[in-house]
Structure 1
């Protein structure tokens, strides 16, 4: 698997009009009253919309045969914002395989995407692809030992996965009950990226920040979230960064989350 490290995934230019950022904002939980997220005359594009534009990169690695696309899952995500996305236009991106970590029974592929607007890294967990003698890679950040500084409850919508998949991630696991059952799930699950951003919007509000002023975001997906679930978010302040962990009915679903706003 080490032969994949450094592999170029090429370049791609994705164009969009103001409809897609508005649909995205609604899909991740923006309210109709959030006019600067859902009204084209005042629109500020959420920085995480970039992750839908770059979905082609992890898809390209799977299509190239690096791992079994039917069993690989999205393990974690990182995003660093360079400058705001325009309301409409074209974004040119390049992508490569930054790292391949050997976890024994699985491999973790890190797909890095760069553009003038952002840098993003997908960590893809591929069962059965490990054991090639490579480095295990860094450990995940642990939950802070101190008591949380704050907490939030974030409701998701039963229709949220059906709406979010229109932005590009159309894996059947998120819409088709039969596909979900084949993957060992009782019903379709919410996209990890949708879950992560769904908690980021109310987090920004609780901090007195605007979600479009996001500078950095990351999180690790540890358990599935189902559309309609209510997430309990605990937060810790660390200088200018907020650390967070999300759970559903006491089960942790997102760990090692951190966000920083301008």
Structure 2
């Protein structure tokens, strides 16, 4: 099969159970502080909406296991999330997944996996080197960088153990903890999950919007480069009428681009 033949392919349905401990572990792994009791204390718990992305990780993993792309070279290129209603503190989520689109970028393909539940709709864009050239549509281009300077920047530190901690939530790809696997993936050492970086920058984004991070309504971004545990991520804000644009970098190296976030 060429990559284009996967378009529209159903990936099935799965029910995933979780409890308050899982939601609290997630909050701590992405940077919540012990003083934020409504994120780390079961008696007051509000579940971060991006926790849904760990519950739905089975879908892109299933597609890779089915042979749609080389799991050793493919990378997570972009992410979208639309929040339909708050996640319960604990319970079960029934999710359905399918291959929404496959774009032909010439030397590579971009495979979009969509996961739906009654609480959210999430879309992974997987960049698959060597899988293009099948004659398909190139798809959308990367969004342009904001034309105006950032109105605010802030710094988000990451922890030395953050990647190892985040792995316990389900995404156990070896490149995030094993130096040898990281080198095989073209990186000098284990690096942070893109979804962990994305969730970590939502804390200052929510603060700037005057919202609680659990009030997230929607987000989108592209992953432009790795963050290594211990790096400090600088987040640039571009407030708009309906959403806040954002970018993130480590030094002069972009790590998140084309970001957009909305809070209730």
TM above 0.5, one fold? yes
Q: 2:252 aligns with which of 250, 253, 256?
A: 250
Secondary structure of 1:36's aligned partner: helix
Residue 208 of structure 1 aligns with which residue?
210
Which of 154, 168, 171 pairs up with 1:169? 171
Gaps of 5+ in 2: none
Structure 2 distance, partners of 1:39, 1:109, is 38
- The corresponding residue for 1:18 is 20
Shift of 1:230: 0.4
TM-score by length of 2: 0.98
Structure 1 stretches of 4+ with a deviation exceeding 2 A read none
Shift of 1:102: 0.4
Q: CA deviation at 1:28?
A: 0.4
Distance of 1:148 and 1:184 partners within structure 2: 31
> SS in structure 1 opposite 2:228?
coil
Q: Deviations over 1:193-231 (max 9, x none)?
A: 000110011211122110000000111001111011001
Contact 2:209 2:263 in 1 (8 A): no
How far did residue 185 of structure 1 move?
A: 1.0
Partner of 2:54: 52
CA displacement 1:151-192 (0-9 Å, x = unmatched):
111111111000001000000000001111111211100000
Number of paired residues? 262
CA deviation string 1:53-78 (max 9, x = no partner): 00000001001110111110000000
What is the TM-score with the length of structure 1 in the denominator? 0.99
Aligned CA RMSD, in angstroms, stands at 0.7
How much has 1:149 moved relative to structure 2?
A: 1.4
List per-residue Cα deviations over 1:119-173 (Å, max 9, x = no partner).
Answer: 0000000000001111110011111111111111111111100000100000000
